[in-house]
């Protein structure tokens, strides 16, 4: 879901929601999600 919000796929871009979902995924072991929060404005 974080990537959807980050890239605006199926939802409007929302960096706050993207950060929330990407951090949640990273906390649950997603290695892909670990790199994205650093890229958010």
Token look-up 């993207």 returns: 18
Structure tokens at 14: 């929302």
User: pTM of the entire structure?
Assistant: 0.77
Look at residue 35 in the predicted model and tell me its pLDDT: 82
pLDDT values of the chain reduced to their tens digit, one per residue, 41 residues: 888 998 899 999 999 999 899 999 999 999 888 887 676 66
CA 31/CA 38 separation, integer angstroms? 13
Host domain of residue 14: 2-39
Cβ-proximal residues to 23 (8 Å cutoff; 6+ apart), any chain? 2, 33, 37
Q: How many domains does the chain divide into?
A: 1
Helix, coil or strand: residue 4: helix
């Amino acid at each position: 879901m974080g990537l959807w919000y980050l890239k605006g796929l199926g939802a409007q871009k929302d960096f706050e929601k993207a950060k929330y979902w990407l951090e949640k995924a990273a906390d649950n072991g997603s290695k892909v999600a670990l790199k994205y929060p650093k890229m958010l404005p």
